[in-house]
Amino acid sequence: MDSRTGLPVVGMVGGGQLARMTHQAAIALGQSLRVLALDPSDGAALVASDVRYGQHTDLAALREFSAGCDVVTFDHEHVPTEHIRALAADGVAVYPPAEALLFAQDKRAMRERLTELGAPVPRWRPVTEPDELLEFGTELGWPVILKATRGGYDGRGVWVVSGPTEAAELVGTLRAAGTELIAEERVALRRELAVQVARSPFGQVAAYPVVETVQRDGICVEVLAPAPRLPEEVALRAQQLAIDLATSLGVVGLLAVELFEVIGADGEPALVVNELAMRPHNSGHWTIEGARTSQFEQHLRAVLDYPMGDTALTAPVVVMANVLGGPDGGMSIDERLHHLFAEDPGVKVHLYGKQIRPGRKVGHVTVLGDDLEKVRARAVRAAWWLREGQA
Amino acid sequence: MDSRTGLPVVGMVGGGQLARMTHQAAIALGQSLRVLALDPSDGAALVASDVRYGQHTDLAALREFSAGCDVVTFDHEHVPTEHIRALAADGVAVYPPAEALLFAQDKRAMRERLTELGAPVPRWRPVTEPDELLEFGTELGWPVILKATRGGYDGRGVWVVSGPTEAAELVGTLRAAGTELIAEERVALRRELAVQVARSPFGQVAAYPVVETVQRDGICVEVLAPAPRLPEEVALRAQQLAIDLATSLGVVGLLAVELFEVIGADGEPALVVNELAMRPHNSGHWTIEGARTSQFEQHLRAVLDYPMGDTALTAPVVVMANVLGGPDGGMSIDERLHHLFAEDPGVKVHLYGKQIRPGRKVGHVTVLGDDLEKVRARAVRAAWWLREGQA
């Protein structure tokens, strides 16, 4: 507890935009997020009062950081599980626990566990040598997907393998570099969906509406909430799946389940689990204005074992668009903001305090309304204004 | 400009809850509010990264604070106008300017200027000796209102004077203490209203919907947005009045116009200006969730000369209730929060990080919905849970 306020201290390992936005939510709850950052220029370090510095791979730094925190949680999934176990053994409340976080860190462990649980997953197999991928591709037909089991994000660590020659070369190169791999069926997807739930230590789980995530070059560019034209029955199935997974895996905090919507053998929509994330997630940024409780507040409520907040939409349609750094067009981000605000007084902007580099997520925009096409066009246009200016 | 982000630095003098909530809004705009606080336990000092310490009455401290700020603004109205003029003469962009802020600092100057402008005000006069108040009370009939021209808030600095004996005593005592005074007619009010506008240096003005403010013992306890059963024509008149005042007085940033709704000589509702505030204001806390652009973001946009944001309501009915410190009932604020969240998952809570003292504003709650009576009951109940717990 913070003796000045009588309210808890949550420590978040990692100082990126997720910690930055979690700090905003913490302020409303009377708290101030304690952040373990790498650098004073990290997005959260720029705005939070209680910032410590250290590597998330350094157990001594994690121990020092945790002292005086009521709960420790994460802005990313890169803290080694052995360090999380060591903190827990010290008596620190660390959420999500190592046993759960493993399934967001290691795609092979995730696929194995989900297969055991009977959750819908693509056909897959571990790959330790080229022949295993050749066999898999021959059996399923090319192309197939090859994934590094750890460390990938925004399309990195994922390869579409077109045939035997590429398979042999790629597996050889990656295995020589020590990369652990799995192969997956290339799913004939209609679109990508995501569903977020938050679970508390007590076991309460709250599910957000299912959203559609629009990807370009492996990067999420838009999120449409709720997912348009999704049959109620499928939406309920997706929420139930996420609730079941959060419970089975022992998640505490947020769980984002990224899903493929496919056409099943019966011609009806079916769902396949793509990835899991156990933290606030890009697919939930729309909740800041678009849900009664933002994912950032919900994550804090979950890890603190507060009762969960209302996840209802605040408008019929909500669209989030990521702002990616564009080429240097001679117009500053501040000028772009002026023009955008003149263009559309209703768009909500979130900038992360990052140096702008081409393709880097430097912020997001959210638009709310009644008509999907209009709302989406406004969000896309706003993201474009911030990226390109008038170029 | 902050060289790390390419975005402006706004400095706010004063580290209370208004600066705390302005910092939250600044984060979304890619900024980090620079705060001039008195103490590390100030609400904003607990949560902002860039906190300086100094007295708002110390010109040297203000000058040092202003260096490197793109704009300087205020969380309260207590900075001496001569200091604001000195900063402006140094070339600092200080908003609102001294010429405008005077009318929020000094009730006599405000009454004089509004009278000149033909704005609706109660009958009033300056009082420098007891006989002037006696004459005023005799002319209008007792009771009358006596006000200190400076420094009052939350009912302090305002006296209801019942008759000649009390008048003579009170004026004698206050004048002996050097207090400047005005007398005002005691208006037969139906209720209190407030309207906020934001004005940029460019001259753009955006008006929020008119709200009803519910007072108890001189303290605002609830705000109902929009003001229930207010004829559209009266609402428009109130907004036009606030726009005209912001323009005539040269306000930059937010202006809150507190109004009395009275029954005019014609039997129709009429408006009388009570007070002016030039900063984010308690009557606008509902805008955080209840308007498309919060008053805190709007104040930043105004002082930075960004185009104003959309002021539309996000729900048909929004009710804000202040959380006042209660007697020590043995239950911590953290426990109260648990119970409240279990009671009502949809209420939005804002705690200011303050030590709890009886009667002190330590936070507020906001509820949104369709039905005024239900929404209001939930907000009142939530504020009660945080104040009293289960006592």
CB contact under 8 A, B7 and A334: yes
Res B223 pLDDT > 70: yes
Percent with pLDDT over 90 in chain B: 90
Question: Mean pLDDT lowest for which of A153-157, B45-49, B51-55, B357-361?
Answer: A153-157
Q: Is the fold of B10-94 the same as that of B189-388? A: no
The C-alpha of B289 sits at a distance from chain A's nearest C-alpha, in angstroms, of 8
Size of interface A-B (CB pairs under 8 A): 156
Query: Three-state SS for A273?
Result: strand
Residues A380-391 have pLDDT tens digits of 999 999 986 444
CB contact under 8 A, A348 and B292: yes
Q: Which pLDDT score is estimated for A22? A: 98
Among the partner-chain residues A7, A20, A312, the one whose CB lies closest to the CB of B333 is A7
Res A159 pLDDT > 80: yes
* Chain A hits for B29, Cβ within 8 Å: 337, 349, 351
A225-230: average pLDDT:
97
CATH 3.30.70.1350 is the classification of domain A123-184: no
Higher pLDDT, B216 or B88: B88
B176-200: average pLDDT:
96
- Mean pLDDT (chain B) is 95
Q: Which pLDDT score is estimated for A391? A: 42
Residues A289-326 have pLDDT tens digits of 999 999 999 999 999 999 999 999 999 999 999 999 88
Which of A47, A52, A71, A344 is most worth mutating to test chain B (most B CB atoms within 10 A of its CB)? A47
Burial tier of B166 (Cβ tally within 10 Å: 0-12, 13-18, 19+): middle
A14-26: average pLDDT:
98
CB contact under 8 A, A46 and B32: yes
CB contact under 8 A, B333 and A51: no
Ligand-binding site membership of B116 (annotated) = no
CB contact under 8 A, B4 and A356: no
HEC assignment per residue over chain B: CECCCCECCEEEECCCHHHHHHHHHHHHECCCCEEEECCCCCCCCCCCCEEEECCCCCHHHHHHHHCCCCEEEECCCCCCHHHHHHHHHHCCCECCCHHHHHHHHCHHHHHHHHHHHCCCCCCEEEECCHHHHHHHHHHHCCCEEEEECCCCCCCCCEEEECCHHHHHHHHHHHHHCCCCEEEECCCCEEEEEEEEEEECCCCCEEECCCEEEEEECCEEEEEEECCCCCCHHHHHHHHHHHHHHHHHHCCCEEEEEEEEEEECCCCCEEEEEEEEECCCCHHHCCHHHHECCCHHHHHHHHHCCCCCCCCCECCCEEEEEEEECCCCCCCCHHHHHHHHHHHCCCCEEEECCCCCCCCCEEEEEEEEECCHHHHHHHHHHHHHHHHHCCC
Residues B62-77 have pLDDT tens digits of 999 999 999 999 999 9
Assess contact for A158 and A152: CB atoms under 8 A: yes
* Chain A hits for B334, Cβ within 8 Å: 1, 6-8
Q: Which pLDDT score is estimated for B388? A: 65
Res A47 pLDDT > 60: yes
CATH architecture for segment(s) B189-388: 2-Layer Sandwich (3.30)
Res A107 pLDDT > 70: yes
Question: Domain-by-domain residue ranges, chain B?
Answer: 10-94, 123-184, 189-388
Ligand-binding site membership of B147 (annotated) = yes
CB contact under 8 A, A351 and B7: yes
Higher pLDDT, A63 or A266: A63
Q: Which pLDDT score is estimated for A217? A: 84
* Chain A hits for B333, Cβ within 8 Å: 5-7, 30
* Chain A hits for B46, Cβ within 8 Å: 4-5, 32, 49
Taking the mean position of all CA atoms in its chain, how far away is CA B179?
23
The C-alpha of A150 sits at a distance from chain B's nearest C-alpha, in angstroms, of 31
Question: Mean pLDDT lowest for which of A322-336, B205-219, B222-236?
Answer: A322-336
pLDDT band at B257 (very low <50, low <70, confident <90, very high): very high
* Chain A hits for B350, Cβ within 8 Å: 28
B298-326: average pLDDT:
97
Q: Which pLDDT score is estimated for A390? A: 41
B338-360: average pLDDT:
93
Percent with pLDDT over 90 in chain A: 90
CB contact under 8 A, B338 and A48: no
Q: Is the peptide bond before B122 cis (omega within 30 degrees of 0)?
A: no
Ligand-binding site membership of B107 (annotated) = yes
What's the CATH code, domain B10-94? 3.40.50.20
Percent with pLDDT over 70 in chain A: 97
A216-224: average pLDDT:
91
C-alpha–C-alpha distance, residues A259 and A272, integer Å = 6
Nearest CA in chain A to B337: A306
Res A64 pLDDT > 70: yes
CB contact under 8 A, A312 and B29: no
C-alpha–C-alpha distance, residues B124 and B149, integer Å = 12
Report residue A343: phi and psi, to 5°: -70, -45
Residues B148-177 have pLDDT tens digits of 999 866 668 999 999 999 999 999 999 999
Q: Which pLDDT score is estimated for A388? A: 65
CB contact under 8 A, B349 and A46: no
The C-alpha of B41 sits at a distance from chain A's nearest C-alpha, in angstroms, of 7
Res A328 pLDDT > 90: no
B112-116: average pLDDT:
98
Query: What is the token pair recorded at A205?
Result: 């789980």
